[in-house]
Amino acid sequence: MTTIASLPPFVLYFAAALPVALLRGWSRSLLLVLVPIAGGISLLYAEPGAYWHVSLMQYQLILYKVDKLALLFGYLFQLAAFIAVVFSLHVRATGEHVAGLLYVGSALGAVFAGDLITLFVFWELLAITSVFLVWARRTPRAIAAGLRYLIIQILSGVLLLAGAIVHVSQTGSIEFGYLSLGGLASWLIFLAFGIKCAFPLLHSWLVDAYPEATPTGTVFLATFTTKVAVYALARAFPGTELLIYIGAVMTCFPIFYAVIENDLRRVLAYSTINQLGFMVCGIGLGSALAINGAVAHAFNDVIFKGLLFMSMGAVLHVTGRIKASDLGGLYKTMPITTVLCIIGAASISAVPLFSAFVSKALILAAALEEGHPLVWLALLFASAGVLEHAGIKIPFFAFFAHDSGVRAREPPINMLMAMSLAAILCVFIGSYPWVLYDLLPHALAFTPFDSTHVIAQIQLLLFAGLGVFWLMRRGWYPAEIRAINLDADWSYRWLGPRVTHALTALIRPTDAAVRRSVRHRLQTFLDALFRHHGPQGVLARSWPTGSMVIWVAISLAVYLALYYL
């Protein structure tokens, strides 16, 4: 165990990928489950410090740097990997399991990276490994969405590399630590993190690709990429004021889209951006309370969002449907999945005794403490919005609402086990928050359940729920319709191709005219050449030697003429 503990955590996942690719059946399942367990135990032996220095040209890479922040994300990723692996055990396709392992390994590599070059390598590996989870769906739509996802993710990596190069040339250091925002290097890196963290207008890859992945692939995707970005922001840009406003916008704009979105996994994708907004806002606020809140919320989000994505993945797996307009009434035959989904919904809505209650409260309290009452109001509004789309819409339209006539059975046992584990964690962390909060970067005294906060939160949630059901009963609630909603991806899926076409159409006539005229002149020249040198040409009457004699005579004559002038 100590040998494993001294290795960087990604090594275990990368090493396990090959045997997983070769094995089949129960031996593969056993290995898949053992990897995150061994990884989790080995992290218990990890001591703060920097290990695994590797020389690359004149730079010292640090493959394994341990501190409290990295360690918390390390535990989280091992736990999330375990849940996701159990959830996907029934999947036969080997590629998905291999991609899943490599993807988790890349995320762990990024989190324990001590320098920017190592971070960049794992940053790009995250993109390359995860796209296979989208492509594994094998539909034309998934393949196209995966390609768009890959291009944008690679772009994020290229920006990170560019920023790192500028940073190194300016400071001479490749260390990955605090970077204050200002100057080209930090802005490039900030933008790279922003793409992966789904900042507004840079977010559409997430809502485009996640809902197109396989039912199990989305559970992996939802966890790692965005949380690595949150980790990177927390390490490099804590206390950056701009992040407060970016975060506040992220919490608010997706909830409007979530209300009218028909694909329930896409609703959860919008919800992911909303939850990331709380974390980004907390990182921007930067106080010990806010950072603790952001990190704790990242931890909780992985579990409850995972649970929600799993429950919708289970619905998709057993019914083949995922659109609100095609679902409803599933509680009749899927009571266990229904209950588990509701636990996830209660957790994300921050119901007291469920996991997000305390972590979200820390961020909201920090917003007021740091003197941002309007941001606080935005976050409060977004909290009510979460209840609408994730707390009510997801379970309501899938399991209740109008009866779709679908009578699906409960999903396979491994799916139920994974969901149950996540649900237990949601309730456990919600009820015993100090177990998690002792692991947070800053030591802070806090009272999780004071009466003011509990009552205020219950009032907020119940009255928001009242609003939703009141609108439903009056018939004013927007009906589920089969439609898609335009978002930022419209710019490169619709506008971009059309602008390119229009420009080509504009250039084409000029281009054709230029070509025509050049071709015409060339032809005239060739014709003239042919006239003089061709078989009937004046200059072809003699042999080339004869022709040469004529030219020599002419040039001598010219020379003579010039000489006498």
Partner 1 sequence: MAKHKRYFLDKPENVTTLWRIFVAVCAALLLVDLVHHRHVTHPWESLLGFYALFGFIGIVLLIMAAKQLRRLVARKENYYDDDDR
For binding to partner 1 (CB under 8 A), which residues are involved? 140-141, 144, 255-257, 259-260, 331-332, 365, 368-369, 373, 376-377, 380-381, 384-385, 387-388, 400, 403, 451-452, 455-471, 473, 476-478, 481-487, 493-494, 497
d(CA 408, CA 475): 28
Question: Can you read off the two tokens belonging to residue 20?
Answer: 């997983």
**What is the smallest separation between the CB atom of 226 and partner 1, expressed in angstroms?**
23
What own/partner pairs with CB < 8 Å and gap ≥ 24 does 121-124 have? 122/10, 123/156, 123/157, 123/160, 123/192, 123/196, 123/228, 124/153, 124/154, 124/157
**What is the smallest separation between the CB atom of 209 and partner 1, expressed in angstroms?**
12
**Closest to partner 1 by CB, 138 or 473:** 473
d(CA 488, CA 471): 29
**Closest to partner 1 by CB, 82 or 270:** 270
d(CA 443, CA 447): 13
**Closest to partner 1 by CB, 167 or 372:** 372
Question: Can you read off the two tokens belonging to residue 398?
Answer: 């899938």
**What is the smallest separation between the CB atom of 376 and partner 1, expressed in angstroms?**
7
**What is the smallest separation between the CB atom of 180 and partner 1, expressed in angstroms?**
29
Q: Tell me phi and psi for residue 287, to 5 degrees.
A: -70, 165
d(CA 100, CA 29): 13
d(CA 344, CA 300): 10
For residue 54, list its beta bridge partners: 61
For residue 64, list its beta bridge partners: 51
**What is the smallest separation between the CB atom of 443 and partner 1, expressed in angstroms?**
22
**Closest to partner 1 by CB, 325 or 547:** 325
**Closest to partner 1 by CB, 435 or 466:** 466
**Closest to partner 1 by CB, 455 or 557:** 455
Question: Can you read off the two tokens belonging to residue 465?
Answer: 């729920």
d(CA 431, CA 435): 10
**Closest to partner 1 by CB, 187 or 477:** 477
**What is the smallest separation between the CB atom of 205 and partner 1, expressed in angstroms?**
14
The DSSP call for residue 65 is E
**What is the smallest separation between the CB atom of 413 and partner 1, expressed in angstroms?**
25
For residue 59, list its beta bridge partners: 56
d(CA 55, CA 399): 56
Computed over its alpha carbons, how large is the radius of gyration of the chain?
A: 31
**Closest to partner 1 by CB, 189 or 464:** 464
**Closest to partner 1 by CB, 71 or 464:** 464
Question: What H or E segment, with its residue span, contains residue 445?
Answer: none
410: left (phi over 0), alpha (psi -120 to 50) or beta: beta
49: left (phi over 0), alpha (psi -120 to 50) or beta: left
Amino acid symbol at 227: K
List Cβ neighbours of 4 (8 Å cut-off, separation of 6 or more).
12, 38, 42
**What is the smallest separation between the CB atom of 377 and partner 1, expressed in angstroms?**
8
**Closest to partner 1 by CB, 172 or 373:** 373
Which among 42, 28, 96, 101 is positioned nearest to 74, based on CA atoms? 42
**What is the smallest separation between the CB atom of 508 and partner 1, expressed in angstroms?**
20
Q: Tell me phi and psi for residue 216, to 5 degrees.
A: -85, -35
**What is the smallest separation between the CB atom of 266 and partner 1, expressed in angstroms?**
12
The DSSP call for residue 238 is T
d(CA 514, CA 440): 68
The angle that helices 335-348 and 288-319 make with each other, rounded to 10 degrees, is 160
- Mapped to the 3 state alphabet, what secondary structure does 349-370 carry? CCCCCCCHHHHHHHHHHHHHHC
**Closest to partner 1 by CB, 129 or 204:** 204
**What is the smallest separation between the CB atom of 465 and partner 1, expressed in angstroms?**
8
**Closest to partner 1 by CB, 124 or 487:** 487
**What is the smallest separation between the CB atom of 358 and partner 1, expressed in angstroms?**
17
